[in-house]
Structure 1
Amino acid sequence: MSTIQKVVNHKYFSNIVISLILLNAIVIGIETYPNIFEPNKGLFHKIELIFLWAFTIEIALRLIATKPWYNFFKSGWNVFDFVIVAVGHIFIGGHLASVLRIIRVLRVLRAITVIPSLQKLVAALFRTIPTIGNIMILLSLIFYVFAVIGTTLFRDISPEYFGSLGHTFITLFQVVTLESWASAVMRPILVDAPWAWWYFVSFVLIGTFVIVNLFVGVIVNNVQEVAVICEKPELEETEEQQEPVSLETEVSNLRKEIAELKDIIVSLDKNKTQAP
């Protein structure tokens, strides 16, 4: 293993990278205060250059440590890191300050690439996309059915919430998040339509307590599956490491038993020769 590979694989290397990412995030947050940023633009620009070149050196070391080098780009996380740092160099001298600031904020997401536990969580979220897609289709159908019903029934009673299909969709989104849905939306309508409670109660039961819990259940299930998948290689490595030790122990035990048998045979031969 080369010196650069030892440096990149060292635990302090990842700790330093995480610290730089967090410090960069703090600096970007401070820049949002005009009374601090405006008088010190030059200082913040120099700090930005320091962070940019620090991340550039980090990516270069990781690229050199990968043998062959093109294997570095086989990992999606590595590609994400490389693009974020490279785009920072492209816009560093430009006048698109807002674009540069957005790109710099994205560097905070690089914490995911250097913290294995976050990688597992994100991998679990990506695994849920196919299943969540089906749940989203089901939720969209339920939203559409209740939106059409709500617009038809309550257009004249509450036009600010149910005046059109678009307004109704936004209202139902507020209801499904349980944000002031009873006091702000349902109770004013109950004054003119006391029977309207069934509409809101049924939508909350179906949309919130059933569909939203399906989202949570799918994500939790996939997080557990990813954790099991990630633990299997570690278990296999430990078993492989334990096998040579157990074989050596068994060989030494066999040697001891053979030596004991030899001693027994020798003593028996002596007894036979000494016997009359």
Structure 2
Amino acid sequence: MYNNIKSQLNALKNNKAFELSVVAVIIISALEIGAKTFPLSSGAISVTHVLDIFITLFFLFELSVRFIADEDKRSFFKKGWNVFDTLVVVISLIPINDSEMALLARLVRVFRVLRMVSVVPELRVLINSLIKALPQLGYVILLMFIIFYIYAAIGSFVFKDINPKLWGDIAISMLTLFRIMTFEDWTDIQYETMEVYPMSWVFYLTFIFFTAFAFLNMVIGIVVNVMEEERSKLRKAKEDAKNIPTIEDLHSEIQQLKALIVQQQSSKEITDKESAL
């Protein structure tokens, strides 16, 4: 009985229509959260309240389906996305009217939009790639901070008298350099210092080369490399999942073996009779 229900729920979980319905409900949840930020009539508030209950119950049902259909339930909550989905669903069940937890419940309902990541495998690959790339990115960020610090110190010493608002100390200078790296009106800053130091363009161009070009491309390269590894793992997992026999396949093979054994026994009995004659 349980195995039958489990196989049916597993088929439902892998059904494309069910997956699309989950995505649709997540989108409706996002629209409903956005609608609550506008002034609403009493009728619209009632509709959003009913819709919120439906969304919460649907997410509870979808999480239950995934848990029951999972082959290894002990490892279900070892996966980060499953823990995140469970927390979002459980906290969404908290009544938000006249409660000290009302603000927390409302904020958690906002994070229901992030469930799109746990539902869509491609989005999970992106997020997992970013997380796994962080250790490698740490060294690039550290090197970038060193470059920022050196150029900020130079800019503060040289350009402080020209514009104290932009180069007054090393902290303000680093903020100015971040503005230059993002190309936010950086030419205005450059032309201002070039009026006093005509060769100061070397300072800006070298800084932009190191940060906006070299380090940014290094960050992109690391993320793309990790993303390709994650996609390879996902493809391998899908191939392995296809090779795993289902309960129906095992049942069919057992029936075939039984039929083969019965056939062999019948052939043996006929052979024994013929030998006796």
TM more than 0.5: yes
Cα distance between partner residues in 1 of 2:107 and 2:150: 38
What are the residue-to-residue correspondences of 1:196-275 with 2, within 5 Å? Answer: 196-235=200-239
Aligned to 2:199: 195
Tell me if structure 2 keeps the 8 A contact 1:21–1:111: yes
8 Å contact 1:37–1:44 — kept in the other structure? no
Check conservation: 1:30, 1:37, Cα contact below 8 A: no
Rate the CA distance shift 1:37–1:210 in 2: closer, same or farther, 3 A: farther
**Of the candidates 180, 188, 193, which is equivalent to residue 185 of structure 2?**
180
Q: In the alignment, residue 49 of structure 1 is paired with which amino acid?
A: I
- Aligned to 2:183, what secondary structure does the other structure show? coil
Q: Structure 1 residues 27, 202: CA separation in 2 closer, same or farther (over 3 Å shift)?
A: same
In 1, are the aligned partners of 2:94 and 2:105 still within 8 Å (CA)? no
Displacement of 1:92: 2.7
Query: Contact 1:63–1:72 at 8 Å: present in 2 too?
Result: yes
Structure 1: where are the runs of 5+ without partners?
Answer: 242-276
Contact 2:30 2:113 in 1 (8 A): yes
Structure 2 counterpart of 1:156: 161
Shift of 1:77: 1.1
Q: Which residue of 2 aligns with 1:262?
A: none
Letter in 2 for 1:11: K
User: What whole-Å deviation, never above 9, does each CA across 1:168-205 have from its counterpart, x for those lacking one?
Assistant: 1111111111122113x211222233232111111101
Of 88-97 and 154-163, more deviation after overlay is shown by 88-97
Shift of 1:240: 8.7
Query: Please, what TM-score do these two structures have when normalized by structure 1?
Result: 0.78
TM-fit CA distance, 1:231: 2.2
Residue segments in structure 2 that go unaligned for 5+ positions in a row: 246-277
What is the CA–CA distance in structure 1 between the aligned matches of 2:187 and 2:117, rounded to whole Å?
Answer: 39
Aligned ranges 1:6-155 → 2 under 5 Å: 6-34=11-39, 36=40, 40-67=44-71, 69-90=73-94, 92-93=96-97, 94=99, 98-155=103-160
Q: Distance in 1 between matches of 2:177 and 2:240?
A: 50
Structure 1 residues 137 and 89: alpha-carbon distance in aligned structure 2, compared to 1, 3 A threshold = same
Paired residue type of 2:139: N
One-letter code of the match for 1:88? Answer: S
**TM-score, structure 2 as length reference:** 0.77
CA distance in 2, matches of 1:66, 1:234: 15
The answer to whether the Cα contact below 8 Å between 2:96 and 2:103 also exists between their aligned partners in 1 is: no
CA contact (8 A) 2:136 2:222 kept: yes
In structure 2, the CA distance between the partners of 1:234 and 1:39, relative to structure 1 (3 Å rule), is: closer
CA distance in 1, matches of 2:73, 2:58: 20
Query: Counterparts of 1:236 and 1:101 in 2: how far apart (Å)?
Result: 40
Deviation at 1:99, TM superposition (A): 3.6
Q: Deviations over 1:197-249 (max 9, x none)?
A: 111111101111101111111111111222222223445567899xxxxxxxx
Alignment match, 2:171: 166
Aligned sequence identity (%): 30
Change (3 A) 1:234 1:47: closer
**Pairwise CA distance, 1:156:** 1.5
